[in-house]
Every structure is written in C-alpha cells, then in structure tokens.
C-alpha cells in the first residue's frame, strides 16, 4: 500500500501547499500526476507485483480529500491564484480529481459497506456527476461491450462526438434503470436522482453565495475537466470491443478481451489499478489491490494516461488503435466462447 499512498498523497500535499503559495510547488502537482508516470513506469516495479489485499482506509481518506480539495481549489483560484499559477491550479486540481478522485470514488461505490458507498456517492455529487453512481453500477457493468451501454464506444467513434453523447446517454440510462427497479418493486426507496440533482444544485448555490459568479465558473470548469477525464477513460478502455450474442439470446459474459488493459506500475498506482480493467469487470467487488491482468487480456500499446491523451487526437487514435482492434477481433472470432452465466438482453 506504500506505492498507492505515495502516488496519490504526493499531489494532494503539493496542491494544499501550492494553493496558498503558488509557484513551483503548485506547478509540481500536475507533473506528479500527468507527467511523472512517463519516467516512473520505465523503472522496475518496487513491489515486484506483490500487493496487500487491503486499502479501504486509503479509499476513505482519498474520498474525503476530493471534497476538501474541491473547496480549496475553488477558493484558491477565486481569491489567491493568478496568471500562470491560476492555469496550473486548474490543471493540477482537475487532474487530481480526474486521475485520483475518480478511481477512488469508483472503488467506494463498489463496496458493500454503506458508509463507503455513500462517501463515493458524495464524491460524484461533488463532481456534479452524481448520476454516474447509478449509470455505472446498473448499466455499464451489466451491459458493458454491448449496444445497451452508452459509454462503450464503437469502432471509429470520434472522442469529441462520443463525449456529450456518452454523458447524456449515461444520465438517461441510469435514470431509466433506477425507475425500472422501483416499478418492479425491487427497491422501495426514493429514486436517488432526487439526491444527485438536489445535492448538485445545493453545491452550485453554495459556491455562488461564497465565491460569486467567478467562483461558480471555476467550480463548473473543474467539474467539467474531471468529467471529461472519466469519460475518456471509459472511451479508451472499451473502444470497439463487443460481447457476442449467443444463440439463447443472451450475451457472453465479460472476459479479458472485453476491456482494454495496460501496464505501468506507477500510472496504475496513481489510478488505483484502473488499467487492470478486464478483471474489474469480471469481478466488480474485488478490491483494487487484488486486481490482476488475466491471460489473454486485451492490451493497450501504452499506459492508460498516454492513450487518454492520444484519444483527444482522433486521427492518430484511429491510426494506432483500429489495426490493433481488428487483430483482436479476429482472434476472438477464432476462439468461440460460451458462458452459462451470460447476461440477459434488455
């Protein structure tokens, strides 16, 4: 857990100090998230592949840091940071929320512990992305790599076109899934979209009251930056991959070839093993330190952060990924798989 703690706490500490002082300390924060992995991933993994099967305490701390750092970031960029420091603050805090906060919140909402689940939900509401809690668990996981999942990008889809479509698609599909649960009587509680939207409205109003229109603009920009990083991760990790429909009308179970994975020990530590994505879909409740790279996993040609940046340049993305995708699909076609626990078609 030392690796995860170092990789995630280092930028958090730099952002706290940099919010007050500006200068090189603030500038170092985005470097530790967005560039440091380039060097560190080339070095030998100091853990030698062995990780402790714990980490809930780290998740809880990181969850609370997303809430406190959002307030700190909005305050700093509203009242204290200017010029290049302001720009680096926007980049640094945004990267911290998108690269560290999102993986932490994602892990929290998959925990069975009610406190941790609620904390993860609060973090996503804090990012003005509360609906992701429902859309991710009720739509993305059961329908990943099928036409029923709005965030599983099809081959040839331009990321900048995908971005608004996936956002709105996940919002609607999550709401419909929650509504369907209540219509079937599976859940008696109020639709959580009431809390998602209500909480977000309260946060926007509070931000405006405390920091004015400029502070409100900064808050929305930080959230937009964070949300874009979440969606580019979904785009990269599921681009073009599809589960086949079986003769019984069901889809084959999600396997190692239905999500793109990547290596790189430091970038994996920063994102709490998010690049081991196939194993997460096969075992959603498995704690992040225990995630593995199963044999036959679909592999990206570079670490996840590099591929996320490449996705923002669609012509280059397609040039790199489309041939790799075609080769993978050919391999899948030659290796028939039938799973008795495949998910039903909706």
Which percentage of the chain shows pLDDT scores above 90? Answer: 68
Position 266 scores a pLDDT of 84
User: What digits encode the pLDDT tens for the residues 178-229?
Assistant: 999 999 887 778 999 999 999 999 999 999 999 999 999 999 999 999 999 9
> Which pLDDT belongs to residue 269?
83
Q: How confident is the model at residue 47 (pLDDT cuts 50, 70, 90)?
A: low
**Residue bearing the bigger pLDDT, 154 or 36:** 154
pLDDT band at 315 (very low <50, low <70, confident <90, very high): very high
Question: In the predicted model, what is the mean pLDDT of the chain?
Answer: 90
Which pLDDT score, from 0 to 100, does residue 336 have? 58
The answer to whether residue 49 scores a pLDDT higher than 70 is: no
The span from the CA of 75 to the CA of 4, in Å, is 28
More confident residue, 277 or 340: 277
Q: Report whether pLDDT(332) > 80.
A: no
More confident residue, 285 or 79: 79
Query: What is the average per-residue pLDDT within 87-105?
Result: 96
* Distance set, CA 193 to CA 66, 110, 120 (Å): 21, 18, 15
pLDDT of residue 338: 46
Q: State the DSSP string of 241-305.
A: --PPBPTTSPBPPP-TTSSEE---HHHHHHTTTTT-HHHHHHSTTS-GGG----TT-EE-SS-HH
- The predicted structure's pLDDT at residue 334: 67
Instruction: Look at residues 269, 296, 268, 272 and name the one whose alpha carbon lies nearest to residue 282.
Output: 296
């Amino acid at each position: 857990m030392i690796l995860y703690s170092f990789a995630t706490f280092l930028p958090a500490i730099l952002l706290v100090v940099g919010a007050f002082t500006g200068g090189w300390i603030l500038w170092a924060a985005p470097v530790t998230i967005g560039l440091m992995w380039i060097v560190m991933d080339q070095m030998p993994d100091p853990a030698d592949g062995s990780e402790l099967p714990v980490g809930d305490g780290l998740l809880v701390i990181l969850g609370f840091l997303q809430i406190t750092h959002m307030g700190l970031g909005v305050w700093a960029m509203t009242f204290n940071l200017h010029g290049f420091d302001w720009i680096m603050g926007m980049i640094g805090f945004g990267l911290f929320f998108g690269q560290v906060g999102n993986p932490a919140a994602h892990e929290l909402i998959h925990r069975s512990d009610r406190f941790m689940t609620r904390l993860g939900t609060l973090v996503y509401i804090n990012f003005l992305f509360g609906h992701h809690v429902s859309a991710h668990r009720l739509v993305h996981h059961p329908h990943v790599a099928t036409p029923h999942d709005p965030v599983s990008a099809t081959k040839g889809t331009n990321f900048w076109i995908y971005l608004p479509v996936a956002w709105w698609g996940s919002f609607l599909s999550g709401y419909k899934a929650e509504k369907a649960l209540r219509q079937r009587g599976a859940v008696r509680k109020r639709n959580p979209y009431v809390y998602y939207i209500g909480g977000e409205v309260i946060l926007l109003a509070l931000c405006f009251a405390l920091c004015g229109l400029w502070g409100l603009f900064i808050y929305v920009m930080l959230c937009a930056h964070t949300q874009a990083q979440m969606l580019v991760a979904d785009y990269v990790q599921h681009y073009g991959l599809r589960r086949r429909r079986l003769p019984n009308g069901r889809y084959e179970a999600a396997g190692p070839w239905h999500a793109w994975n990547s290596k790189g020990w430091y970038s994996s530590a920063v994102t709490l093993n998010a690049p081991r994505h196939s194993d997460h879909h096969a075992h959603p409740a498995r704690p992040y330190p225990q995630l593995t790279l199963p044999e036959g996993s679909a592999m990206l040609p570079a670490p996840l952060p590099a591929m996320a940046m490449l996705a923002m340049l669609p012509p280059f993305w397609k040039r790199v990924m489309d041939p790799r995708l075609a080769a993978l699909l050919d391999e899948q076609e030659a290796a028939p798989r039938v799973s008795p626990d495949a998910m039903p078609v909706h």
